[in-house]
Amino acid sequence: MSSVLSVRPGKMTPRERVLAFFARSEPDRVPINYSANPGIDARLKKALGLSQNDHEGLLQALGVDFRGVGVPYVGPRLHPEVPGRNVCPQFGIRTRHVEHGTGAYEDFCDFPLRDATEEEIAAWPMPNPDHFDYSVVDAACKAFEPYALYVGGPGLGDIINSSGMIRNMEQVMLDIITENPAWQLYVDRRLDILLEVKRRTIEAAKGRIDFVWMGEDLGTQHAPLISLEMYRRMIRPRHQRVVDMAKSFGLPVMIHTCGSSSWAYEDFIEMGIDAVDTLQPEAANMSPEYLKATFGGRLSFHGCISTAGPVSFGTVDDVVADCKHVLDVMMPGGGYAFAPTHALQDNSPTENVIAMYQTAHSYGWYV
């Protein structure tokens, strides 16, 4: 497989292509997106002859149609550094750097709010929405003019995973079951801030944001993390706040959902969510065939190219066959965006990732 991708121009702009994806109509080709861990990202840039800091060059080389717009935090550091830890200066979440055979990752640790009371959480420093630089938004929108622009990401509206980062996942499961007021206070304080920052970012973009991306981890590989009743009681009302904020600007919403999560998709449709992201095909009730047959025409699909499948463990031929299969199932009628299920992992051979994107450019055309 060549290290140079063959990318032919289409009849639509990237923005038009993604808007067709949300409208569940057929564009000129499937929209393409990208996310990767640092190791494989660095190897891709090297293979494609790019400098290590040329992220935009990589997105263009891969033919990516999406661009995110965010605002930097410019306020004071709210949480002190801790030796041997990486500490989020805004929220105080701690990680430790862990090396492994093919790369490294940041492991959440210490969990400083695991046993915190309501009073302690009320006093926990969190960022002020005034302390973000919204002046950069206009320039970003102009720089990314042809592309589909979004605000947010898998961490926006994410309740279970994000609070697990600072309270410990076992504690969060107990929090949900017991409706722990301390946990609810943390969730709502964080959500209030994130929503206000995203609202101001959208306003600063003056009509150039195309959708809002939110997220939640709802399933293991085999089953839901929580019951549908618990989702409706404790999580859905908070998710609805994100959806309502987006809809107040007339924007579609895409939600990142890890693991076996299609059990919640009927609720997503009722809530006004337009597209679902991740779509791990090896998880229960998450195959391309099941999703397309059950929700096609009512939800758009972003993902389905497994980072735990042929891209990581197969040959180039395996990757091409897997990607062609997903395209064959998902493309008819529109409403599909080609993307990895998660960030591409560092154990993915470079030639496999290049083959993945080349397959989208070779076989992802409608016209």
**Residue 153: DSSP 8-state:** -
Question: How far is it between the farthest Cα atoms of the chain?
Answer: 60
For the 14-75+127-363 domain, the top CATH level (class) is: alpha beta
Give 68-79 pLDDT, tens digit per residue.
999 999 999 999
Is the pTM higher than 0.85? The answer reads yes
First-last CA distance in the chain: 25
| Integer Cα distance of 310 and 318 in angstroms | 6
Task: Note down pLDDT in tens along the chain; length 367 residues.
Answer: 456 788 888 999 999 999 999 999 999 999 999 999 999 999 999 999 999 999 999 999 999 999 999 999 999 999 999 999 999 999 999 999 999 888 888 999 999 999 999 999 999 999 999 999 999 999 999 999 999 999 999 999 999 999 999 999 999 999 999 999 999 999 999 999 999 999 999 999 999 999 999 999 999 999 999 999 999 999 999 999 999 999 999 999 999 999 999 999 999 999 999 999 999 999 999 999 999 999 999 999 999 999 999 999 999 999 999 999 999 999 999 999 999 999 999 999 999 999 999 999 999 999 8
| Integer Cα distance of 273 and 295 in angstroms | 12
**Percent of the chain scoring above 90 in pLDDT:** 95
Give the Å distances, CA to CA, from 195 to 107, 123, 164, 198, 261: 26, 20, 20, 5, 24
| Integer Cα distance of 221 and 83 in angstroms | 35
